Amino acid sequence: MKKNEKGFALILALVLLLVMSLMGGALIVISSGDHENNNASDEYQQTFYVAETALKEGEQWLLDKFLGPWDRRTNKRDATKKSLPANKASVWDGDMGTAAARNNYDTSSGFFYNTNKVCYNSFTDLSKASLKIAHNESNNYGELLLQSFSSAPQSEKDEAIKLQRYFYEFFVIRIGSAPFRGTGSSIKKKASNTAATGMAYRIFACGIFNADNVTNSNNSKKRVVVGLESIVVLPK
């Protein structure tokens, strides 16, 4: 009986050790999953902020055309060049990976990522067979920040470098005449085909996160894309 009791104590200790090991492993898996979910949430939130930047840049491009480009020599707008931009004559295929579309980066950039038609394909309601646009542009978010951090501490520059995996893009479509009321240079509202004193534009904007850090979006297994849009009505 005494020998049996001694053997039972050893078995009990081994069982308890196994149970505790399983519980510890389960806790590690759960905490790892929570950490991954938090990272995914942070990536989405940051991509949303980048998409908002794209939307603002699209609106700013329109205003620069409407009011005239800023002349740094005179610190005034060049009113002789103001216009209501028209759509280009040719149909656009949605490719943002061209050199003409890239604004602040190119194929030699260490963070280069060919976004191809990622933003274009995010908007499924577009009539793509006959799509004509006034302007399109692709930018790197981290590079935008880094260019403005020339005198910033290295810690801030490092944060900007981390954000070089984020890209923001927009394209603008002139959609026709629309009602315009009020003062100021622009008013957002729904467009209409009725005779009016305004010209309506639709801005499509995207934030894109290169999640798996590849050089071509066609090879991406994971990426985050947030699409936003707005309508801007400018007075004729």
Return the closest-CA partner of residue 55 out of 203, 216, 176: 203
Question: pLDDT tens across 94-133, in order?
Answer: 999 889 899 999 999 999 999 999 999 999 988 888 999 9
Tokens representing 106?
């190119």
Which segments of the chain have a pLDDT < 70?
A: 1-10, 29-39, 181-196
Specify whether the CB–CB gap between 30 and 104 falls below 8 A.
no
In sequence order, the 6+-apart residues with CB closer than 8 A to the CB of 118 are 96, 206, 208, 217, 223, 225
Question: What per-residue confidence (pLDDT) applies to 16?
Answer: 80
- Report the distance separating Cα 226 and Cα 207, nearest Å: 5
pTM over 0.85: no
Tokens representing 194?
């009725």
* Length of the chain measured in residues: 236
Which is it for strands 166-178 and 198-209: parallel, antiparallel or unpaired? Answer: antiparallel
Question: What per-residue confidence (pLDDT) applies to 196?
Answer: 58
